[in-house]
Chains A and B, each alone.
Chain A
Amino acid sequence: MQNKFTEERINSIMESLGGMQPAVAPDFFYTRLKGKMQPASEKKTFLLLRPAFITATLGVLLIINVFSLLQTAKAPKQDSTVVYSKPATIESFATAYDMNTGSVYE
């Protein structure tokens, strides 16, 4: 490949960093640094109020609710041997538990 640089030019480029002065930090560096450090601690304090945290919490609660509802809906189906033909009365309850023997005073 044709090269546009002579050896002398290459040397000049290679030595271009010679005699350079180090860069100095911008003015008010410490003030800006303190400013950057301050919000970091404040943000931690108000974590509970951050929209991302609130949304995530509500999301988790919603998932728990839906899961609980699904579980509740499934529950009666598992107990399919019991037939609810009519509402329970005191008499039916007494019959079911064999409590129709009469009062002890009889």
Chain B
Amino acid sequence: MTEQELLFGLRHGEESAFKELVTQFQDKVFNTALGLLQHHTEAEDIAQEVFIQVYRSIQNFKGESLLSTWIYRITVTKSLDHLRSKKRKKRFGFLSNLFGDNNIPLYEPEDFNHPGILQEKKEDAAMLFKLIELLPENQRIAFILNKVEELSYREIAAILDTTESAVDSLLQRAKQNLRKKLTELPP
């Protein structure tokens, strides 16, 4: 099915088209969300929300960019919104603890292990993912899209609505920051 046929089907509410879209993009969306959120269950929830959003707002898609670019953009936005909301909840987490909340902590920090990492690199990758979380938003997105989803500079530039040189600059700064953070880690 071509992209035009897929779009036609989606705009006419055809379930087969929606199923085809999900089959085509579920791994890309999940992998991107997982890279940004570093949590399997949350990544699955966000991936589902992305497809619900696509289903509901397909009429608003003007076709000015590729369908994949649009879907990646929604994934990034939803993942970042989720992270922001998580941070907000974390700030007020102490209140929940005061008022009981079944004594279940809102956040259990744990090392994130991406399922696609080679066994011998798992420990290093877990450390790197921890530091990626500390990067500024744009650098983090560019880094994840490039290293985890293996997108080209052109694709990342389209998703972030910027230029390829800006993406290159973001990636360079991300690497510098990560190196700096690694050297600053306490013994």
Asked if B148 and A10 make an inter-chain contact with CB atoms under 8 angstroms apart, the answer reads: no
Distance from A92 Cβ to chain B, minimum over Cβ atoms (Å): 67
Residue on B nearest A26 in the bound complex, by CB? B44
Distance from A32 Cβ to chain B, minimum over Cβ atoms (Å): 7
Asked if A23 and B27 make an inter-chain contact with CB atoms under 8 angstroms apart, the answer reads: yes
**Cross-interface CB contact of B22 among A23, A29, A40, cutoff 8 Å:** A29
- Judged by DSSP, the binding face of B is helix
A65 to B180, CA, bound (A): 66
Asked if B26 and A30 make an inter-chain contact with CB atoms under 8 angstroms apart, the answer reads: yes
Which chain B residues lie closer than 8 Å to A2 at the CB level? 187
Indicate whether A16 reaches chain B with its CB closer than 8 angstroms: yes
Mark interface residues in B3-46 (1 if CB within 8 Å of A CB, else 0).
00000000000000001001100111111001000001001100
Which bracket fits the contact residues of B?
Answer: 35 or more
Indicate whether B66 reaches chain A with its CB closer than 8 angstroms: no
**Cross-interface CB contact of A20 among B22, B23, B114, cutoff 8 Å:** B114
A16 to B44, CA, bound (A): 24
Instruction: From known contacts A16-B121, A23-B27, infer whether A4 and B185 are also in contact, taking CB-CB under 8 Å.
Output: yes
Which chain A residues lie closer than 8 Å to B48 at the CB level? 29, 32-33, 36
Would you list the 3 A-B pairs with minimal beta carbon distance, nearest first? A21-B116, A16-B124, A25-B26
> A-contacting residues of B (Cβ < 8 Å)?
19, 22-23, 26-31, 34, 40, 43-44, 47-48, 51-52, 55, 114-118, 121, 124-125, 127-128, 147-150, 175, 178-179, 182-187
